[in-house]
Amino acid sequence: MRRPLQAALAGLLACGLASGCTLLPPATSDVCVDWIRFETPQDQFDHAVLVLIGKPVRVDDETLMYGYKAKVHLVEIETVLKGDPGPAPLRVASTPATCSAGVSYPDGDPLEQSQRMLIFANKQEGGWSTQTPAQGAVPFETGAPLPFGTAAPKG
């Protein structure tokens, strides 16, 4: 009776090894996105699909972006400078940093400031997301001049 049990265990082990199956959890790795760094605010404006002045009101949801949890914020729009945000309410995911050992916002979520901001966004899987983790949303004081021109580039 001992011999068939040993043969069965050896067979299961061989099957598992041959098929790539394991009892250990799968290895995971962070997705590491090499984000563009815009040299000027004008470059950033020109490459964004949507640019607006607004105020993040609250976190409304979470989504996954590049394997990281991303907070989705409701944004109160003051002025649309470029693009069409679509019907209200505007929901913008704060793009997480990557290469950060699973931490979405090692320096804090830029949209969690609840203040007037310039928001640069692009479409991401059918919704809006900040253009990059570091340059997607910046505080913008009332009365401050825009750091870019809003006219369409000639050419």
Domains of the chain and any CATH numbers: 41-139 (2.40.50.120)
At 15-24, the pLDDT tens digits run: 343 434 444 4
| Length of the chain measured in residues | 155
d(CA 48, CA 76): 19
Query: pLDDT value at position 46?
Result: 97
Instruction: Give the H or E element holding residue 6.
Output: helix 2-19
Structure tokens at 51: 């640019």
Structure tokens at 13: 């082990």
pTM of the full predicted structure? Answer: 0.77
At 65-107, the pLDDT tens digits run: 888 899 999 999 999 999 999 998 999 999 998 887 778 888 8
Vertex 109: Cα angle to 105 and 113 (nearest 5):
160
Bigger pLDDT: 3 vs 119 = 119
Is the CA virtual torsion 112, 117, 120, 125 positive or negative?
positive
Q: What is the dihedral of CA 95, 97, 102, 106, to 10 degrees?
A: -110
Instruction: Give the H or E element holding residue 11.
Output: helix 2-19
